[in-house]
Amino acid sequence: MDEAINDVEKTVDALVETLDMAIIVAGGNPVKARNKKWMNWVLRLLEDATQEAIGAREDANSDERPTKKMRTGINDSNDDEGTWADYPMFCSHEAFTPPVVNPIPRLSDYSVGAFESYLTTTSPEDLAPAIFTDLANYWPAMTSRPWSKPAYLLQSTFGGRRLVPVEIGRSYIDANWTQKILPFRTFLSEFIQNTSESLRSKPLGQSSIYRRGYLAQHDLLAQIPSLRADVAIPDLCWAEPPLASPASAHSDPRLNAWFGPAGTITPLHTDTTHNILVQVVGRKYVRLYHPKYSNVLRPRPPENGIDMSNTASVDVGVEEGWDTELEAESDENTEQDHAQSLHGEAKVAFHETEYWDCILGPGDSLYIPYGWWHYVRSLSTSFSVSFWWA
């Protein structure tokens, strides 16, 4: 790459960083969010201009007649599945696979009307989780615009320049957990590809010793509209259940992306809405507990003035022996950084408590009723989208 192209790249990187920071900071603020539309429009123009500038420079430096190149801008639909056929997929290696003890029912051909009838005629205490196997199979993210291919995701994020918030650490309840905002390509190379290599080279008992990064609970699809075009809101999300609370009423479902390597964890917690979790890439283990078992799961007390009662004190990975070692992220870790195990009657009560579990694969959609406790663990490189609705 000559000096002129390098200068273009640096300038573009700085512009993308400025625009993306503004988009991320705006978050769900309705006033600031109105600016997202024009910022995404600027990013779209910038990407097109960058491709043209770099392409022209490369052609000028070539002794051969210019050939037609495959565009890599976010305007491309690339709906031909053959476009991505020769590109490698994410690693599917699993360090270990937990046993499924109490399988969740798997359903298909379930209409919105039937689902809404179930939600409205079943008492809240009797609602139960279910896996729907046919809600997302037609998504472009599963077919012609494959999220399972790193090359496609890099193209969709402006060559990996787009910034994303990354949670670093085993779990957000651990003492050494932190967050960073990184270019997508940095997240991909440092936390997805490096972690996959680490897991392949370690025996089962050492698989928890690595630096984990998780793009978790982020509205990535609003930030990057080209990725939003790759998915569709599942029809079942338009069913109207009795509202859990007035504050949970939303006209449209709220979407969040969850992307990370094997071993990334969302600790046992509850949501204030109904949830459909769609698995797009890789596999995840999910365990669920009925709200009636809240006392056994020991909701966390407030921490630094923040209400943490929607997160359990019980660490499923520790109790099951899946997480027995501290991540080797630095030499500053202390004994208090270890997740704490239960003891005595509390331990007995937890292990005697009924739960439901499953392993989600690509195309599976898990319905999680309002208020149910759920623990989620990636078994391989995994990309999921959650849809929260009242």
Mean pLDDT calculated for residue range 119-142: 96
**Which one has a higher pLDDT value, 184 or 242?**
184
Give me the sign of the Cα torsion angle 160, 163, 169, 171. negative
Residue 248 has pLDDT above 60, yes or no: no
Residue 179 has pLDDT above 80, yes or no: yes
CA-nearest of 212, 213, 206, 215 to 95 is 206
Asked whether residue 179 falls in the same domain as residue 290, the answer is yes
Q: What is the pLDDT of residues 331-342, one digit of tens each?
A: 444 444 445 688
CA-nearest of 89, 87, 111 to 280 is 89
| pLDDT score, position 287 | 99
| pLDDT score, position 9 | 86
Q: Are 211 and 329 in contact (CB under 8 A)?
A: yes
Asked whether residue 214 falls in the same domain as residue 126, the answer is yes
| pLDDT score, position 64 | 54
Alpha-carbon distance of 202 to 200, in angstroms, equals 6
Residue 77: Cβ within 10 Å count: 11
Residue 303 has pLDDT above 80, yes or no: yes
Residue 118 has pLDDT above 80, yes or no: yes
Q: For every residue of the chain, which 3-state class applies, written as one string?
A: CCHHHHHHHHHHHHHHHHHHHHHHHHCCCHHHHCCHHHHHHHHHHHHHHHHHHHHHHHHHCCCCCCCCCCCCCCCCCCCCHHHHCCCCCCCCCCCCCCCCCCECCEECCCCHHHHHHHHHHCCHHHCCCEEECCCCCCCHHHCCCCCCCHHHHHHHCCCCCCEEEEEECCCCCCCCCEEEEEEHHHHHHHHHHHHHHHHHHCCHHHCCCCCCEEEEEECHHHHCHHHHCCCCCCHHHHCCCCCCCHHHCCCCCEEEEEEECCCCEEEEECCCCEEEEEEEECCEEEEEECHHHHHHHCECCCECCECCCCEECCCHHHHCCCCCCCCCCCCCCCHHHCCCCCCHHHHHHHHCCCCEEEEECCCCEEEECCCCEEEEEECCCEEEEEEEEC
Residue 275 has pLDDT above 80, yes or no: yes
| pLDDT score, position 5 | 67
Residue 279 has pLDDT above 80, yes or no: yes
Q: Which amino acid is at 303?
A: E
Give me the sign of the Cα torsion angle 36, 42, 48, 51. negative
**332 part of a folded domain:** no
**Which one has a higher pLDDT value, 131 or 197?**
131
Asked whether residue 293 falls in the same domain as residue 350, the answer is yes
Q: What is the pLDDT of residues 76-92, one digit of tens each?
A: 455 666 789 999 999 99
Structure tokens at 20: 């993306």
What is the number of structural domains in the chain? 2
| pLDDT score, position 87 | 96
Strand order in 178-183's β-sheet? Answer: 106-107, 130-132, 365-368, 274-281, 382-389, 254-260, 213-218, 163-168, 178-183
Q: Report the mean per-residue pLDDT for the chain.
A: 85
**86 part of a folded domain:** no
Residue 70 has pLDDT above 50, yes or no: no
| pLDDT score, position 77 | 52
| pLDDT score, position 194 | 79
| pLDDT score, position 267 | 96
Asked whether residue 53 falls in the same domain as residue 128, the answer is no
CA-nearest of 318, 320, 300, 319 to 310 is 300
29-33, 216-220, 280-284: least confidently modelled range:
29-33
24-28, 41-45, 269-273, 280-284: least confidently modelled range:
24-28
Asked whether residue 12 falls in the same domain as residue 154, the answer is no
CA 100 to chain centre: 22
Asked whether residue 11 falls in the same domain as residue 150, the answer is no
Asked whether residue 372 falls in the same domain as residue 288, the answer is yes
Range of the domain at 372: 106-321+342-389
**Which one has a higher pLDDT value, 317 or 244?**
317
Strands 130-132 and 106-107: parallel
pTM of the model: 0.87
**251 part of a folded domain:** yes
Tell me which range, 198-202, 203-207, 356-360, is most confidently predicted by mean pLDDT.
356-360
**119 part of a folded domain:** yes
pLDDT band at 38 (very low <50, low <70, confident <90, very high): confident
Q: What's the CATH code of the domain at 192? A: 2.60.120.650
